[in-house]
Amino acid sequence: MHNPIILGFASATLLSLSMTPALAQEEEQEQKPIQTVGDIVDQPGVLTPKGRLIVDSTLSYAQSASNRVSVVGYSVLPTLVVGFIEVEEADRTTLSYGLALRYGITNRLEAEVRVPFIYRNETYERRELASAQNDTTIYRIEGHGVGDAEIGLRYQFNMDSAPFFVGGVRAKSTTGRSPYESDYNQDSNSFEETPTGSGFWSIEPHITLIYPTAPVVLYASLGYVYNFEDEVTLFDDSVADVKLGDSISISAGMGFAVNPKFSFSLGLNHRTLFESETNGSSSGSQLIQIDQISFGTQLSLTPNTSLNISASAGLTEDSPDFQLNLSVPVAF
């Protein structure tokens, strides 16, 4: 799953709570003492208020590059290899537009639907060293289309005192083009057209802790993605049971309100992707560690509209080198 820089629900909720001490005192003065269960349910929380709809348009850009050296042969001396050495450099660019709808069922419960539209461009440059041919071969592939749609629910467990705990569950569909549905070029060892989805259903339960201490909001989030096993047709036309590796994600950070209209956030995100399995075997698969540092800003344009800009940089080899997100949520 992609996903990706990881800017999840924690960043959105902490920015919604980022306010100056004066504003916080003002809201506390307006709140009535809690008398009944009904009062608890009706008071404002960190999620979308009851009966309110938020339309969130997000534009994302991600760039990553990697280098790989393949050695086919055997070593005679520590500095002498009999065989050939292949060097590959890969550059990947992903543009995506996501449209999300969030609706407050109650002040404690909100529902969300998200549909992404993805464009990917990948360039592979390969060169064989220590061989008769030293020519460089360049392969370019691209693809676009609808990505994997998602639907989720979030619930705020406590309303009256901090820290606030928000739990949720998110399900990802297979509306995008699967890697197993894309034509594969054996000569270039790459797809004819880049996939736009994973090809597998998944479900992600998660929990977020939010602790406001004006003018700062601290947050931490923990999630686990479970990918369902499915029968697919492999590139050699054989049929196999494939299960993508599950993943666990941890993120933490802070948001700071500069004034009533502007705030910024800093965060660290970690995700561990476990080994995938084909017919019950994980041979050829490996554990992947993704770490990112992120920085985001939010500017309130009108009482119902804001502008959110965030950027993240990869800290590990498997992480995207750079990711930029621009979103404009509008409340109705």
169 pLDDT more than 80: yes
pLDDT at 17 over 60: no
The residue ranges of every structural domain in the chain are: 9-58+92-120+140-331
pTM of the model: 0.81
- The residue count for the chain: 332
Q: Hey, what are 238's tokens?
A: 């054989």
First CA to last CA distance, the chain? 31
Task: Answer whether residue 3 shows pLDDT above 50.
Answer: no
Cα–Cα dist 311/300, whole Å: 18
Superfamily covering domain 9-58+92-120+140-331: monomeric porin ompg (2.40.160.40)
Write down the residue that tokens 């009256």 correspond to: 160
Q: What Å distances lie between residue 118 and 52, 229, 262, 291, CA to CA?
A: 28, 24, 30, 23
Whether the predicted pLDDT of 159 surpasses 80: yes
Q: Which two tokens stand for residue 103?
A: 């609706």
CB 182 within 8 A of CB 218: no
What was the pLDDT predicted at 125? 81
What's the pLDDT score for residue 52? 95
Cα 18 to chain center, whole Å? Answer: 22
For residue 14, is pLDDT > 90? no
Per-residue confidence (pLDDT) for residue 145, from 0 to 100: 93
Q: What is the pLDDT of residue 260?
A: 86
| 280: phi then psi, degrees, rounded to nearest 5 | 80, 0
pLDDT, tens digit, 9 for 90 and up, residues 296-320: 999 999 999 999 999 999 999 888 8
